[in-house]
């Protein structure tokens, strides 16, 4: 494993939003780090090395020029529910898995993988067996067949894709344990990024507004990036196989079952 200042990272979705915030955070804190920014667009941070890649296209992923050694992989790229369902699943599940497989060949003990899921994973309505079948897809044609069978469409495809990310990360962490490579997922809540308006369109403006009202505001890309940065670092060496919500306590407020957790003052 490389020293903390010379570590090599691969970050997908690095041209905007959380991915770009992560690129900037890593390079601001560790100027000697090498960051490969994987995206269909150029990463605005000139300190990173951009690799143009369409994560909905397996041939594009296979042709991507990746560094020889990788200490940290952040799968941040994601397509919202406003896109066609086959594209959502191709990028959010199939493309993520294909790129991870390529990067794993370049990882050794001490490396880490962080996959960006979403609190929307909790909205998934499909049973576990359907998630397993989705994660067994090897081609976009397989995904289209799966969609035909399940009848999934619209924003529901996004919700299910993120449930698949969480479940796949747990399985991946167990599979990589003998190699000393960690895998963790992060689930942001509504976040101020360029695709927030897409989520308002697919999930409803009122629903997104209620989330902000519950916790006081939306999150920022920098806040999610800070968590991902830590989870990729050696400082998180004993954090593995879990999902970390980054949503300001949104799920806690929704799930709270004890009306007065502090109770009356004890006498």
Instruction: Tell me the three-class secondary structure of the chain, residue by residue.
Output: CCCCCCCEEEEECCCCHHHHHHHHHHHHHCCCCEEEEEECCCCCCCCCEEEECCCCCHHHHHHCCCCCCCCEEEECCCCCCCCCHHHHHHHHHHHHHHHHHHHHCCCCCCCEEEEECCHHHHHCCCCHHHHHHHHCCCCHHHHHHHHHHHCCCCHHHHHHHHHHHHHHHHHHHHHHHHHCCEEEEEEECCEECCCHHHHHHHHCHHHHHHHHHHHCCCEEHHHHHHHHHHHHCHHHCCCCCCEEEECCCHHHHHHCCCCCCCCCCCC
What is the CB-side half-sphere exposure of residue 67 using CA atoms within 13 A? 20
Residue 168 CB coordination number (10 Å): 22
Bridge partners of residue 184, in order along the sequence = 114
Catalytic status, residue 158: yes
Nearest to 38, CA basis, from 92, 94, 77, 7? 77
For the record, the structure tokens of 51 come out as 């690799």
Catalytic residue among 158, 162, 184, 240: 158
Catalytic residue annotation: 158
């Amino acid at each position: 494993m490389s020293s903390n200042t010379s570590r090599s990272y691969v970050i997908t979705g690095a041209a905007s939003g959380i991915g770009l915030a992560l690129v900037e955070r890593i390079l601001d804190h560790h100027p000697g780090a090498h960051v490969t920014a994987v995206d269909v667009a150029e990463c605005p941070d000139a300190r990173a090395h951009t690799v143009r890649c369409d994560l909905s296209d397996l041939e594009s992923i296979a042709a991507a020029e990746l560094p020889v050694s990788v200490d940290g992989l952040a799968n941040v790229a994601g397509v919202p529910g406003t896109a066609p369902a086959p594209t959502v699943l191709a990028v959010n599940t199939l493309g993520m898995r294909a790129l991870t497989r390529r990067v794993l060949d370049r990882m050794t003990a001490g490396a880490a993988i962080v996959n960006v899921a979403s609190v929307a994973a909790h909205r998934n309505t499909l049973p576990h067996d359907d998630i397993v079948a989705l994660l067994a897809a090897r081609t976009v044609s397989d995904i289209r067949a799966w969609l035909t069978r399940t009848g999934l469409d619209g924003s529901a495809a996004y919700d299910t894709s993120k449930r698949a990310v969480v479940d796949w990360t747990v399985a991946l962490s167990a599979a990589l344990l003998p190699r000393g490579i960690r895998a963790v997922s992060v689930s942001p809540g509504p976040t101020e990024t360029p695709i927030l308006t897409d989520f308002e369109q697919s999930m409803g403006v009122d629903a997104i507004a209620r989330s902000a009202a519950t916790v006081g505001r939306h999150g920022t890309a920098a806040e999610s990036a800070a968590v991902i940065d830590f989870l990729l670092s050696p400082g998180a060496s004993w954090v593995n196989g879990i999902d970390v919500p980054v949503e300001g306590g949104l799920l806690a407020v929704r799930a709270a079952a004890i009306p007065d957790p502090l109770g009356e003052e004890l006498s």
